Structure 1
Amino acid sequence: MQGFSVWLRRPCIANSRSTWTSYQSIGRRFRSSTSHSKRPARPSPTTQTDGFQKFQRPGRPPQTDSIGFQGLRQADASPETILTYFRLNVETWSKQRAVHDRFVSFGAPLPDISRLLVAFVRDAQKGVFDSPDAMEQYGLKRLSDTDNIEADIAFSHIFTRWLLARPAPVKGVEPETVERFRRISEAITEMHPAELLPATRQMRRRVIMHVGPTNSGKTHHALRALAAAPAGVYAGPLRLLAYEIWERLNMGHIPPLGATPEQIAAATEMGPSPDNPFARMCDMITGEEQKLVVPHNSPGLVSCTVEMCNTMAKFDVAVIDEIQMIADSGRGWAWTRAVLGIRATELHLCGEETAVPLITEMLKDTGDELIIKKYARLTPLEVEKKSLDNDLRNVRKGDCIVAFSRTSIFTLKRDIEMQTGLKCAVVYGKLPPEIRSEQAALFNDPDSGYDVLIGSDAIGMGLNLKIRRVIFESVRKFDGRAEKLLSTSSMKQIAGRAGRFGLHRGDEAPGGYVTTLRPEDLPVLRRTLQLEIMPLKAARITLEVESLNIAAAHLPPRPSTETILLAVIHLGGLPLCYRHTYPERFQEVAAFIDSVGMFTLAEACHFMTAPFPWRDPLTLDAVRAFIVGYYERMHVDVMVMMRELPYLAQLEDAEAAHAAMDGRRAKHLLHGLEMLHRLLTSYMWLALRKPVAYPSYTDATTLKERCERVLHWCLRQVTLRSGDVTAASRKPPIRYVSKQDRMADLRASAS
């Protein structure tokens, strides 16, 4: 969960050389160990959903995703299409109970809201919004490229603009109701986001976009410019990527721009080393850890995750990777902040060509020079003529099978090893970055004995992999509600990992192949890879604590955090090329935090920003302990907390199994260890920002290292024991049956 931070008026890190701290405000209320007796009574839970309890509180708006219509998913929708969609859905939107309850929670009487929405629909039916000028004035273009949540927000924006621009009052509506909406909207509307970074606007930057498909060398060219810079920063989407670039720069892996072929040959001959002539001293700063090697107050390089990028320091060169993530609803705000705020003479943006129109529009307000460099793929990528026909005996050395659930990954691993004798490394999202990197190294090493990689879409970025062929176990992925076809962008990103330039094995010709496990998926894959990816529509803007406080001042007394956030999202105006961030499940998370105690908005947003494993309901007791300890005692000791909860016992149990070499339990220990690792990295994140309240950074680091050792052992054990391959070879071959096929068989049997 990311996206709530003060980024437009404060640097994300004040000094890359100092520990990340967040000073407590003077005069903060003292919370003694007995303060819980004075806490307000918690609202009683009513229902349980994915581990989150729904709390009944007066005026709490229902979940936004309960809106009963679909968005306009066409990114290139014509004005006629947009207007038709608006006419067909405006009345449906206006009658949603969620819409009425939300506006009531903002302080409007229900009768007034009902009358206003009726008048809004009536004006739509009269053609008030039909002209091109009216569509521009009321922002109807925001309806394109939306899901149901974004469409709901767009309708709210159109309604608010209509309400404030309507020349005649609506009969029976109190003037104070309209005035309340006007005050909130005008206070939090921001039509020039770039101007909120005045220090950066005082310089004219040279922005170079390196765009192209996966495996086109675009990032490599930008990194060469960084390696030649006296002071520079790399900002990437993953801690694993930040670590990789940090290591490559410190070990001389990246030849600087301007190096001669002879110098490159000599450095290559020497190999990776701090003494390599291309080695550059580089710090690494992520949300959970820092590796500082550059002497204090000396110019140097920094490799960081994009959320940690410093907008106050001056750089000669900055590189922002995976720029297309600027449109991501949860994390895109960090790319927006970096693009608008990094104070670099030369700013390199690397990613998909889909971001070019959006960046061009954003930079119209900055006065920066924009240069676009396009790249073609360095090695050919071929879609094979046949699938594997559900037969895992067709898996070959150098293959990567991509699946989208942990269960599928380990089922494939077991079946492939039994049927082929090939050993499989695994990579998936819940694995710690360090373990993912180790598994990738096993696959890349020709002498390790690990010949096949089984991974999730986590292979799409952040790992250099010697994949010869990518095999899609499925072209659909469960999104929490239903299985949906992978996006064009995701399918291309994953397929493009095959045949990575410079990483082919032995005498293999450069190039990669892609296919599917099931025959019926292959035409879908072939057709999708031929499609163009539509240009991005909008960059994401975070919800500033300052704006939230302003909104809260105009809402009814003691509004919930959720209500304040929704007021800014639904009433705050932005330019057409921007949208507010909308992290997944933020309404449930806000209600969860409010249930713990009465926090300031800054504190509530701080916990919403923390990388807690919100998706896993089994960890919510630990998350509550993190927050309750801060609220009641301003002190959370990680060893005490982990011993009170089952996690430390689980770790010790896993270490005992490791010591006894009892590999039979390894698979069952994995999930608990993964959860523990995520909780420990969350604690480290909190400790770097609030070291007084979370003082056990060193203990958390030690526990994390212990956890990683056992995790690595568990993954090694989840493989065939000696003799199993021989035994398996005497059995008849097993055809792999996917989850989709099993469900289809069940439906057929039922009918």
Structure 2
Amino acid sequence: MPNPSPDRHTATSGDDINAELASYLARFGARLIHSNEAVAIEVTGELEAAQPSETPIAFRLVPDQGVLARITKWRKLDAAQRLALVQERLNPATREALHAEIGQFVSTVLRRARAAGLDAQDFLGALQSGRELASRRFQVVEDRLNNAILRKRSETHAEAARASVRLARYPETFDLAEGMRRRFIAILGPTNSGKTHQAMAALAQARSGVYLAPLRLLALENYERLLEQEVKVSLVTGEERRLTEGATHVASTIEMLDTTRAIDIAVIDEIQMLEDLERGSAWTAAVCGVPAKTVYLLGAPSAQPAVEALAERLDCPLEIISLQRKSPLGMEAQPVGQLKHLQRGDAVIAFSRREVLEWAAQISKIGLKVATLYGNLSPEVRRAQAQRFRDGEADVVVATDAIGMGLNLPIRRVVFTTAKKYDGISEDLLPPWLTHQIAGRAGRFGIHEAGHVAGFDEHTHRSIARLMKIQPEPLPRRGFFVTPSLDQIERIARATGETALAKLLELFSRNIDLSDDFFLPGNLLEQIERARWLDSLRLSLAQRFTFSLVPISSRVAVLNEAWQNWARNVANQRSCYLSADLEVFERSKFPLQAAEDACKKYSAYAWLGYRLPEYFPDAEAAVAIARETSERVDRMLAAQNHSQNRATARDDRFGGKHRHTPPRGGHLRTRRSVR
């Protein structure tokens, strides 16, 4: 019989080696797989459970050293080389190391899962997927476990937050008011109906009381009104204190309400602000928490359903007094059309600082003296500008919708330059309530027999006429906004163990107990955004909470920089001393804007000074400098309008022509919201 050929012998030897390879892999519970264009060893096994009652942990994994070669290279290896490579990567030592690695990992997962109250088997099943490296499957298990722990923690925190703050019982957090028998008197009516006069007369006669205003300017006006009637009254706003010894009354901004001093009468102005997403919570707190025997609620007729619902919820008797406007108000037959048709006693309404200044400049050029009012001006400047108009030093007032709240001016006619306002997102038609509020400033009772309303151009005139015919929608009877106090935030922190202010505010916003939705969390987005930055500093929770509420715009770079510097100084235990450079305005490219921003900065410093006096020792100086800077702003505005008048007179003297059409061809489009 002939000897087998060499090729036949090689094949037989290769088959034997392949069989030996298969047998070798079987001894270790392994097999060869093709994965990601490579050949690898997949090992199957089981770890004994630590306790008899526990299920063994099965696995099917590719050890990190189990990837043998790319497929193209593997094909070039003969059977003996393949066997040798497998034996190098898989042997008793490497198998034992794999078991030890898996065992250590599983032990860690079991411990963490038990600590979180989770079943580890829900995650360890991922070790049986096969065809993947052990390290990758470990990461999958860890990711799933971490997400589950976060969800569990979030659910636990949410439940703790719900248990710690129950908004359905919000009124009970005001102990003094809750224990009093209070009664409400709502005086509701349109602008120029005498609401404030009636309530303030009662307040002046009371033995003790408080006036709560939406604006510092209104608090100041009614503080002086009470002083004129020889009432011992203090002024308390966020940025200023004028304390009178033995004071029986307080005129205050609504956020500064003192809920710990019982009084006879409280006057809460502009009660329709309950619906305001940004500040409505201050009105909710005042209605629920002011400790007064009689509480006057002043506002628009649309607030009646909300007032009735609150009185019922608080179990307070309610009397409603409805007033009518004291002088008629009506649309003019035609739009104004041209600047030369503006008259003494007109109020020209635009909806941004830039638009107000542009209109004021153009109106000054036709020889009319102008006063200007917009939101970025300090209360002192607004007051001074309003006084110019009252005293006849200004013929026309150009204003934003800031004119619509509280300012009593001898306006004969309100002229809208546009019927749209930019709300920070889009430019939309004015809401009817705002149109009525602004238009209602025309025809001051006792000065003018009637009030008149017009649009500057034909389109605006028609739009305003339609809006004036629409009655504002009534306020809803539920969903009154509430923002957290420091006490509530600290309660959530104790219940959850959470220390980050941003997360605590989010827990309040998203997870507190709402029960019947009568009270709802207010808008905390800006406060949460500030808190995220503050959480990076070494500040106490109370300090972070205080800094998150500083009344300063984060959108203005110079103001945001000052705020951040103050916070860093406090975090480093350093006092913040006031430095004032009153000449910086003259060096600025935009001196008026710089001066306005400086007023805001000094006022914010004073606000902090009254709350953190150990770190902000110059609060009184800040108030004085803010007042001095406000006077400078007022002079700048007066000089700016006076220079336009002088330029007009010069043009007329030399035969020049001044414009009789509005800026930008008749209709100024609003591009940004009032600051």
Do these two structures clear the TM 0.5 threshold for a shared fold by scoring above it?
A: yes
* Alpha-carbon offset, residue 330 of structure 1: 2.1
**Compared CA separation, residues 442 and 178, structure 1 to 2 (3 A):** closer
The answer to whether the aligner puts 1:521 opposite 2:460 as a matched pair is: yes
C-alpha distance in structure 1 between counterparts of 2:228 and 2:553, whole Å: 34
* Pairing partner for 1:291 from 218, 242, 245: 242
Further displaced range: 186-195 or 617-626: 186-195
Further displaced range: 187-196 or 343-352: 187-196
Q: Which residue is 1:440 aligned to?
A: 386
Deviation by residue 1:200-234 (Cα, 9 ceiling, x = unmatched): 22221121000011111111111111111111111
Q: Which residue is 1:652 aligned to?
A: 583
C-alpha distance in structure 2 between counterparts of 1:667 and 1:314, whole Å: 51
Q: Which residue is 2:355 aligned to?
A: 408
Q: Which residue is 2:475 aligned to?
A: 536
* Alpha-carbon offset, residue 546 of structure 1: 3.5
Larger Rg computed on CA atoms: 2
Q: Which residue is 1:478 aligned to?
A: 422
Q: Secondary structure at the match of 1:592?
A: helix
Q: Which residue is 1:237 aligned to?
A: 214
Q: Which residue is 1:731 aligned to?
A: 657
Residue 355 of structure 2 contacts residue 668 of structure 2 at CA under 8 Å; is this kept in 1? Answer: no
C-alpha distance in structure 2 between counterparts of 1:281 and 1:362, whole Å: 31
**Compared CA separation, residues 250 and 407, structure 1 to 2 (3 A):** same
**Compared CA separation, residues 732 and 226, structure 1 to 2 (3 A):** closer
TM-score, scaled to structure 1: 0.65
Q: Which residue is 1:576 aligned to?
A: 517
| Matched ranges for 1:311-710 at <5 A | 311-389=259-337, 391-418=338-365, 420-446=366-392, 448=393, 450-504=394-448, 510-537=449-476, 538-552=479-493, 560-574=500-514, 575-583=516-524, 585-595=526-536, 597-639=537-579, 642=580, 648=581, 651-654=582-585, 668-710=590-632
Q: Which residue is 2:122 aligned to?
A: none
Q: Secondary structure at the match of 2:484?
A: coil
Residue 164 of structure 2 contacts residue 495 of structure 2 at CA under 8 Å; is this kept in 1? Answer: no
C-alpha distance in structure 2 between counterparts of 1:552 and 1:684, whole Å: 29
Q: Secondary structure at the match of 1:701?
A: helix
**Compared CA separation, residues 666 and 416, structure 1 to 2 (3 A):** farther
Residue 666 of structure 1 contacts residue 715 of structure 1 at CA under 8 Å; is this kept in 2? Answer: no
Residue 539 of structure 2 contacts residue 570 of structure 2 at CA under 8 Å; is this kept in 1? Answer: no
C-alpha distance in structure 2 between counterparts of 1:282 and 1:550, whole Å: 35
RMSD: 2.8
C-alpha distance in structure 1 between counterparts of 2:151 and 2:283, whole Å: 42
Q: Which residue is 2:46 aligned to?
A: none
Residue 320 of structure 1 contacts residue 349 of structure 1 at CA under 8 Å; is this kept in 2? Answer: yes
C-alpha distance in structure 2 between counterparts of 1:495 and 1:545, whole Å: 40
* Alpha-carbon offset, residue 349 of structure 1: 0.5
C-alpha distance in structure 2 between counterparts of 1:197 and 1:432, whole Å: 32
Q: Which residue is 1:714 aligned to?
A: 636
Report the number of matched residues. 519
Further displaced range: 302-311 or 723-732: 723-732
TM-score, scaled to structure 2: 0.72
Q: Secondary structure at the match of 1:585?
A: helix
Letter in 2 for 1:456: T
C-alpha distance in structure 2 between counterparts of 1:544 and 1:108, whole Å: 32
* Alpha-carbon offset, residue 720 of structure 1: 4.1
Residue 330 of structure 1 contacts residue 584 of structure 1 at CA under 8 Å; is this kept in 2? Answer: no
Residue 243 of structure 1 contacts residue 284 of structure 1 at CA under 8 Å; is this kept in 2? Answer: yes
Q: Secondary structure at the match of 1:719?
A: helix
C-alpha distance in structure 2 between counterparts of 1:599 and 1:304, whole Å: 29
**Compared CA separation, residues 409 and 174, structure 1 to 2 (3 A):** closer
Residue 358 of structure 1 contacts residue 577 of structure 1 at CA under 8 Å; is this kept in 2? Answer: no
Residue 331 of structure 1 contacts residue 583 of structure 1 at CA under 8 Å; is this kept in 2? Answer: no
Q: Secondary structure at the match of 2:625?
A: helix
Deviation by residue 1:557-576 (Cα, 9 ceiling, x = unmatched): 76643222122111112342
C-alpha distance in structure 2 between counterparts of 1:545 and 1:612, whole Å: 19
* Alpha-carbon offset, residue 179 of structure 1: 5.3
* Pairing partner for 1:228 from 205, 213, 216: 205
C-alpha distance in structure 2 between counterparts of 1:742 and 1:465, whole Å: 24
* Alpha-carbon offset, residue 598 of structure 1: 3.4
Deviation by residue 1:279-306 (Cα, 9 ceiling, x = unmatched): 322211111111123x33x6x2211111
Q: Secondary structure at the match of 2:641?
A: coil
C-alpha distance in structure 2 between counterparts of 1:404 and 1:218, whole Å: 27
C-alpha distance in structure 2 between counterparts of 1:455 and 1:702, whole Å: 26
Residue 362 of structure 2 contacts residue 659 of structure 2 at CA under 8 Å; is this kept in 1? Answer: no
C-alpha distance in structure 1 between counterparts of 2:215 and 2:311, whole Å: 25
C-alpha distance in structure 1 between counterparts of 2:571 and 2:156, whole Å: 37
Extract unaligned runs of 5+ from structure 2: 1-115, 119-147, 671-675
Q: Which has the higher contact order (CA 8 A, sep 6+)?
A: 1
C-alpha distance in structure 2 between counterparts of 1:601 and 1:191, whole Å: 26
**Compared CA separation, residues 108 and 682, structure 1 to 2 (3 A):** farther
C-alpha distance in structure 1 between counterparts of 2:669 and 2:325, whole Å: 38
C-alpha distance in structure 2 between counterparts of 1:347 and 1:439, whole Å: 32
**Compared CA separation, residues 340 and 718, structure 1 to 2 (3 A):** same
Identical counterparts, % of pairs:
31
Residue 212 of structure 1 contacts residue 352 of structure 1 at CA under 8 Å; is this kept in 2? Answer: yes
C-alpha distance in structure 1 between counterparts of 2:151 and 2:592, whole Å: 60
Q: Which residue is 1:305 aligned to?
A: 253
Deviation by residue 1:695-724 (Cα, 9 ceiling, x = unmatched): 112332332233123212211111243642
C-alpha distance in structure 2 between counterparts of 1:334 and 1:183, whole Å: 26
Letter in 2 for 1:670: L
Letter in 2 for 1:438: A
**Compared CA separation, residues 360 and 108, structure 1 to 2 (3 A):** farther
* Pairing partner for 2:170 from 166, 172, 193: 193
Further displaced range: 364-373 or 729-738: 729-738
C-alpha distance in structure 2 between counterparts of 1:548 and 1:384, whole Å: 53
Extract unaligned runs of 5+ from structure 1: 1-106, 110-170, 253-278, 505-509, 643-647, 658-664, 745-751
